[in-house]
Chains A and B, each alone.
Chain A
Amino acid sequence: MVATPSLPDIKEGPEHNFTNAEIVDFSNALRKRIV
């Protein structure tokens, strides 16, 4: 079973900075799960 895709938590403020690498990592995890 593939782990639930995750991105950095954004509890610290209304907005969080996401890098391209973080989003691509997350997308690849999501792809394994549902595509």
Chain B
Amino acid sequence: MSEGIIPGFASTSEKIVEQSQNFIPKEPLHAVIWAISGIRLSGAKLALERYEGSFDEIEALQPLAKGESIKASQKDMEDVGKTLGQLLANHGLAGRRLTQLKPHLGDLGHKRSELFEAGKMDELRLLDTILQTLSKPKSKKQK
């Protein structure tokens, strides 16, 4: 792989995650208070679940198979980075693991439906391939 970086993608997703993580308390006591207060938690859960109108065809992730490839522009990468960053932030705020990912629900389900409806299958499959990797349970070696 070349040394080139797509700043839009990496920086967009990481910036959103970093900003959100600043608000998540690290100390156990603070975490309990955070969970009890529940205000941001509710918002994050809503963002993960409120949309239920996804198409049947994309209910499950549509990742690329071995040997497949897609075409993506800089704008596509930034778009995917933004969606991914917001998703990761909401999972963090709601205290959920990515193994509990529900690709057809919430803001993610809405975004994937928009891409599907617009025929942007390459962008959808780019997003889904990344999500497939991120949501795999970690093996003992990775822990």
Please tell me if the beta carbons of A18 and B70 are within 8 angstroms of each other in the complex. Answer: yes
CB contacts between A and B, total, < 8 Å: 90
CB of A31 to closest CB in B, whole Å: 5
- B4–A7 contact, CB under 8 A? yes
Give the total of B residues in contact with A, Cβ under 8 Å: 32
Whether A4 touches B10, Cβ cut-off 8 Å, given contacts A34-B17, A35-B134, is yes
CA distance A18 to B73 in the complex (A): 10
Q: Is the CB of A20 within 8 A of B6?
A: no
**Interface size range of chain A in the complex:** 20 to 34
Instruction: Return 29 A-B CB contacts under 8 Å, by A number.
Output: A4-B5, A4-B10, A6-B2, A6-B6, A7-B1, A7-B6, A8-B1, A8-B2, A9-B4, A9-B5, A10-B72, A10-B73, A10-B74, A17-B69, A17-B70, A18-B71, A18-B126, A19-B67, A19-B69, A20-B64, A20-B69, A23-B129, A23-B133, A24-B133, A26-B1, A26-B130, A27-B129, A27-B133, A31-B134
Chain B contact residues, CB within 8 Å of chain A: 1-6, 9-10, 13-14, 17, 63-74, 77, 88, 98, 126, 129-130, 132-134
| A residues apposed to B, CB below 8 Å | 4-11, 14-28, 30-31, 33-35
